[in-house]
Chain A
């Protein structure tokens, strides 16, 4: 029932392969490698690709990967166990070949694993079938038969109780006022009441139980029951004579004196008290002037140094002992060893403004990559984990596709059509500012730019772009470029449809021979469905060459939400087979964060698209490109 099972080395050599169907297995496995292992999403060990589910296991000691693929619609329970068994057997059988450093032993060794594998597969399949079908209980064995007949006789008095209990159950089901306890008790109780037998004896005790539990619950969560108490009050007319009316401390007959918590002072005394505090309010600094930031920052540094000193000494002691431990023989890393270090690294990453989910996933992936690895003699657990984390962070920040806008613009120039770039993002991240910076950069490189003002909503958006255009024209007047206007604004005022303006702008650029069109859109929140639809429509209709998402470096966990929702909106509203998603990220306000550069990691991890530009200020020259090593160094710095 398996489609395929492959064992290959991390260097790329397929050591052994079993193919249940005739399709080749290289395609899905390559997709697995590229999307999971290389993008550090190796937390959970399964992956779906088209119609197949792929489960994999890494052997970090011998650098092997075990992958099994089966149809997505099947739910095979024995697969995990099968992989573990195969891994163990393969490792033990071919230990000498896979242990060596050189790849020659892998190449020359013959891995005749077919029979063993088929045997293991058969065992696994049989073990999953072994569970016998559960036989139904006979009547004599059930609880009902054991009860005396007397308890099942209904009497007059108990009937209304049953009715009230049923209605109460309905009420609790609707509002859940008693919290989870009552509803969980209600559903099995309801089930038993639906069954025909009036097992009143049993139900009575259950009722008592419910009441007792409710009282306990109220005792525990006394005040917090205000809201549900209101709903319970509406419930009260249904439940006739069920409970005594409650008396709330502050509800119902509250009088103003009880509620008045102000201190009983007259005006004079309160003023006197105020004058005493005026000096405190004023503070001790110079009144009019604003103090520099340096004084307080040095205090912080001193405090930080003091706090780090004892931890550093503790760290060195621990490091020394760890080193000594590591000197004695080479041991393989297990999850428990890495647990504490990974927790610390995860907290460190979160402190550096990486989104919490992503930090967790990253650490999971690093743990997966390092489990079972044999450390060198002079390395501690901490250093190995830090090294691996650093490598995976650099790996994430490396662009998966080429980042060279100038080259693509030259291509478009040759084809006599303008290169269209669209900027999108939430409100206030710096779209217009960075658009101006990028157009300055393009002008410096000799390309003519048309700015399309498709932000028809925000007050002053068009004027802002007009000011930028004026300044840029002053910097690059037509006289310097042979009479050609290098930068121009295309705007149609406010309130119009952005997609229509963009289309007209592109047509205008093509007619007038502009090289680049920069489309500025209005900022919009990712939850705002109509605005996201409008953005998706703009992008689908105009098919820009580059869709840049502008995000600020200050954002924390929000980054994940923004990017996911933007991408989803673009994917949902696109008609094409392969929808246009975000192609690149512009990270702005980078000068406001010192070394809390985690937003870069969050954004590239979510979209796996590169960071094309980094904005570091509000002047035209504050445009940089990302340097992965520097960012990772800042991130890993203690």
Chain B
């Protein structure tokens, strides 16, 4: 058999000749009664295909099920997380890592979402956002309504960053800006916060694009938020941005329940 192969190799020349012996051996295998080598190869291929398909389906299923809770430090994300999951009040500290849990939405279909609470501290938030943004189906941006006046620039900067990142994703997530801490008397209303943020983001667009380029010239011109020439408004964005008010602490502090019905309804809507 080997000599026949070599003769045939000697007859044909060029590139096809290298494949010839393999094709011949394959043909011989097929003709044989029990093709062991071929069956092994075929079975391996089937297993591989199944694995790839399974992984694909699994990732599709779990990829778009996460709801991210982002916001500045001390805006009440962890408490909101606790309230949504259990309805109880818990003391919280500054988070240094993310927490995630499965949340069962109270609508007819009883879908479940994965709530992910990301740390808000300046040194951590961008890292964690990078890690989780691809699996985000919705983003809840929590704002401290009482301290908003003082922190408006920081809020706007982080919001700008989150918006730019979300717009860069393949499936743009739904966006909600939750104005938390409404139980405090000095809390601003959602409408006011929306107006202030629009004004602030309007200026931020200009200053951010005018900042000096980064060291390795990696950052291309950042995506333009809204329309140029016109005042910035949230309706100009390709994502759906909604505002609502809530209070994680609730009217009566640790004993009462939280005022988060609107938030729960919104979560039920997007699930």
A-side interface residues toward B, CB under 8 Å? 6, 8-14, 17, 26, 29-30, 33-34, 37-39, 63, 101-104, 107-108, 391, 394-396, 398-402, 404, 406-407, 410, 441, 444-445, 590, 613-614, 616, 623-627, 630-631
Contacts and interface: CB of A to CB of B under 8 A. Distances in A.
B100 A630 contact: no
Interface of A: prevailing SS: mixed
24 contacts: A10-B96, A11-B98, A12-B94, A12-B95, A12-B99, A13-B78, A14-B90, A34-B121, A101-B100, A102-B102, A103-B100, A104-B86, A104-B101, A107-B82, A107-B85, A107-B90, A395-B127, A400-B123, A401-B122, A404-B207, A624-B215, A625-B211, A627-B214, A630-B218
Contacts of B98: 11
A107 B86 contact: yes
A624 B100 contact: no
Given A38-B124, A395-B124, A627-B219, A104 B92 contact: no
Contact of A11 (B95, B126, B207, B212): B95
Contact of A624 (B86, B157, B214): B214
A395 B207 CA distance: 24
A38 B215 contact: no
B101 A624 contact: no
Nearest to A597: B215
Interface in B67-113: 78, 81-82, 85-86, 88, 90-102
A348 to B, nearest CB: 21
Interface of B: 78, 81-82, 85-86, 88, 90-102, 117, 119, 121-124, 126-127, 153-154, 157, 203-204, 206-208, 210-216, 218-219
Given A12-B95, A26-B93, A107-B86, A410 B123 contact: no
A509 to B, nearest CB: 21
> What 6 pairs between A and B have smallest CB-CB spacing?
A11-B99, A12-B95, A627-B214, A14-B91, A406-B207, A12-B78
A395 to B, nearest CB: 4
Most buried by A among B93, B214, B216: B93
Nearest to A445: B210
A511 to B, nearest CB: 27
A630 B219 CA distance: 11
A553 to B, nearest CB: 11
Contacts of B82: 13, 107
A407 B94 contact: no
Given A103-B85, A623-B212, A407 B207 contact: yes
A13 B215 CA distance: 39
Contacts of A33: 93-94, 96
A23 B95 CA distance: 21
Given A402-B153, A410-B203, A627-B219, 6 more contacts: A17-B91, A38-B123, A107-B101, A406-B207, A625-B215, A627-B218
Contact of B216 (A26, A395, A398, A627): A627
Contacts of B97: 10-11, 63
A444 B206 CA distance: 13
Contact of B211 (A14, A26, A394, A406): A406
A499 B211 CA distance: 30
A404 B157 contact: yes
Most buried by B among A12, A37, A38, A391: A12
Given A107-B88, A410-B203, A613 B212 contact: yes
A449 B30 CA distance: 84
A410 B94 contact: no
Interface of B: prevailing SS: mixed
A13 B78 CA distance: 7
A386 to B, nearest CB: 16
B96 A104 contact: no
Contact of B99 (A39, A103, A410): A103
A221 B204 CA distance: 69
Nearest to A407: B207
Contacts of B210: 406, 444-445
Contacts of B86: 104, 107-108
A9 B206 CA distance: 41
Given A11-B99, A38-B96, A402-B154, A625 B122 contact: no
Contact of B126 (A39, A108, A398, A402): A398
B95 A631 contact: no
Given A11-B98, A14-B91, A410-B203, A590 B215 contact: yes
Most buried by B among A37, A404, A625: A404
A401 B78 CA distance: 22
A34 B218 contact: no
Contacts of B216: 627, 630
A444 B209 CA distance: 13
A592 B98 CA distance: 39
Nearest to A608: B123
B101 A14 contact: no
A613 B207 CA distance: 15
B121 to A, nearest CB: 6
Contacts of A627: 214-216, 218-219
A626 B121 contact: no
Given A30-B94, A37-B96, A404-B157, A616 B85 contact: no
B87 to A, nearest CB: 10
Nearest to B151: A402
B203 to A, nearest CB: 6
A616 B204 CA distance: 26
A583 to B, nearest CB: 15
Nearest to A397: B123
Most buried by A among B78, B91, B123: B123
Contact of A396 (B123, B203, B204, B219): B123
Nearest to A30: B94
Contacts of B93: 6, 8, 12-14, 26, 29-30, 33
A391 B127 contact: yes
Nearest to B210: A445
B73 to A, nearest CB: 8
A8 B82 CA distance: 14
B101 A102 contact: yes
A306 B95 CA distance: 47
A611 to B, nearest CB: 10
Given A9-B99, A103-B99, A107-B82, A402 B215 contact: no
A102 B103 CA distance: 11
